[in-house]
Structure 1
């Protein structure tokens, strides 16, 4: 895969060095965890290809690659809820990103919520049976039909 970023080096160079050499998976993607820069709340998880990553670095606005649509997308393109990147971090082996962002809108989730992580899984339950999710901070902060169109939120395939 051709990339605009530095080639991968030795384990020591990757883990202890100063050169940004992200590791994309077999599909050419790297996961990006998005968190609110001020509260620390995790807002979403999305995927970036090298083009989305390069655009995000250059513009300081979050760009992603939609696996379901097979194309690049800028967060906030439709909703206006742009994510301004305050800080971008890479994990120890450079195969996952953390974007600390400032939101230009009330929420990031296509369901109208502030975060895509609005339900908890019950713990200390036997795995394999029907687990019940608990809603946490699940209030809607915007109307997805008004922002994305009447059927857009219902038709959107989650990433």
Structure 2
């Protein structure tokens, strides 16, 4: 009787070990295939990122890292740290219930044009996107930063898409 108990115990343990081995092998293979897929995805993302970072011409017209613009501001004693954020804030703050005064178009259906997106091109120009919810357009602004930090804007050209 005692011999049968040990035999059954041995069989049970053997089956348990085989089950654990098969189960962990499947888990290991699943994890290996998942790691391989993620590494392939990472390589594709890195190559796309390298292409974007390598293409400097796409970001050529930008105030950030524009040494000529920085030297322009230095020659007039203007603080250019976080200047883009200040320009964006100044333009967005001009949006009001009666629209943005820099947008020279009137809305036909009672909505008002407001500036949505802003890109600072260099030490003098800003391009902005505006919309009234149904129609949209773009405008180029001339900006000037005074020594005291105040920013003034002038609309140079604007276009309203049909």
TM-score normalised by length of structure 2: 0.27
Higher percent of residues as helix: 2
TM-score normalised by length of structure 1: 0.27
Higher percent of residues as strand: 1
Choose between structure 1 and 2 for higher RCO, CA contacts under 8 A separated by at least 6 residues.
1
Bigger radius of gyration among the two? 2
